[in-house]
Amino acid sequence: MVSIMPRGCDGNSARHSTWQDQGMAPRGVEVPARFLSVVRAEEKAVAFTWALAPGRRTNTNTFVAIWPFIYAFDLLRSRRDRPKLREVTAAAGFPLDRKMAMLATTQRLVIWSAAQRGVKKPALLGEVARDWIFSARLPYVGGGWRVVEIRLIDGRAIRFYADRHHADKFAAALDRNEKAE
């Protein structure tokens, strides 16, 4: 078993978490160890990303002094809508939450409700079979969180934001039209 240390970890730290390559993740796929437990023996991890579900935002031009109130209202509205988002997307067969971790394997896409720097244990939201995913692409060019659009075989499109460091590789791993490396 090979133990790979995350960047910035000296191995002596009490809070270090090792990433384990037990034949489950090919080279170049960095998957935190807490997410590797769901990888089955017959599949391999292909790509991993942190993700955000898009929320509603108020688009308006106004005085700077009013912006904190608009921002606070948007936060409250987003918090109120969060359970509805989970319920609707789970019923549609593609579970989403406000903050997520996504792991693409050779057979499925596994989705957790988890924050990148969170202290809470990730909660498994569900999984989507890779056979249901028709294509994945990045419809917009951007520098921060990148928009990923996944088209399912029934024609529905799901959009979410993916971490800019992993978005390209994640979309390429899920796209059927992309050549396998």
pTM for this one? 0.72
Domain extents for the chain? 25-55+94-174
Pairwise CA distance, residues 129 & 69, whole Å: 42
Sheet holding 133-137, edge to edge: 123-129, 108-113, 99-105, 45-52, 157-162, 146-152, 133-137
pLDDT per residue of the chain (181 residues) written in tens, 0 to 9? 222 333 333 333 333 333 333 344 444 568 888 888 888 889 999 999 999 988 777 777 777 788 888 888 887 887 777 778 788 888 888 899 888 999 999 999 999 998 777 677 888 999 999 999 999 999 988 778 999 999 999 999 999 999 999 999 999 999 977 654 4
Class of domain 25-55+94-174: mainly beta
